[in-house]
Amino acid sequence: MSNMSNGGDKKAMRVVTVEALPTSVQLDLSKTALICIDFQTDFLLEGGFGDALGNDVTKVQRAIGPAKAVLDACRKEEILIIHTREGHRPQQKDITQHKRHQTDGCIGSPGKYGKILIRGEKGHDIVEELYPLLQSEVVLDKPGKGSFYATDLELILKAQSIETLLVCGVTTEVCVHTTVREANDRGFRCIVIEDACASYMEDFHEAAIKMVWAQGGIFGNVATSKQLVQGLLNSSE
């Protein structure tokens, strides 16, 4: 899969309004990207990393349906789509001792879908429902929780003149929140799609969502998948 199409073409401005918290948002679709964070087999299915740590993976599976609705709508509008995958090199030279200790040595150990969170293994890849389909969709491998850390995400976004990120993914309080905070510090506006994100712990999800739009939207805005899809539909009318 090629990660980028000929990205040099300038797109015409297409402005839509999306209902959100704390206020509705106007966004130019030509300067908007969707980032789908870590919808990987190891995080979402039984026998993977999340399950190995004792979590109920059905709680994060709730985000798949809403995320697919958002993904399909963004594909229709030809919005730049980026999929991230957290994981490590097969040689495992990029796993710090601290991270190994944090995860009780789980990373790299044999699992139902191969070595857990190791690139090239089935568990590291994206679940079927949200799998990249278009040649233009970017697949971004990252070694940490944030999508900007040790990746070329910022370069891609700036090269494509992106100003706003629509954010889906798991888990809300870890990889999603870390990415939103990184993006905020870099000057990108974020709209977190509440029901297209999920956590193994529902109270963590709720708290993380509130943190995004609190104090006038300190880290960004929050919308539901239905609100976003409706906003995109209005652009086509």
Question: Which residues are catalytically annotated?
Answer: 38, 142, 175
Distance separating alpha carbons of residues 226 and 58, to the nearest angstrom = 21
User: With contact defined as beta carbons under 8 Å apart, do 176 and 201 qualify?
Assistant: no
Query: CA-based diameter of the chain, in Å?
Result: 54
Rg (CA), the chain: 17
The crossing angle, in degrees rounded to 10, of helices 225-236 and 64-76 is: 20
Here the tokens at position 49 are 């990393």
| Cα 118 → chain centroid | 18
Beta strands 138-142 and 80-86 are parallel
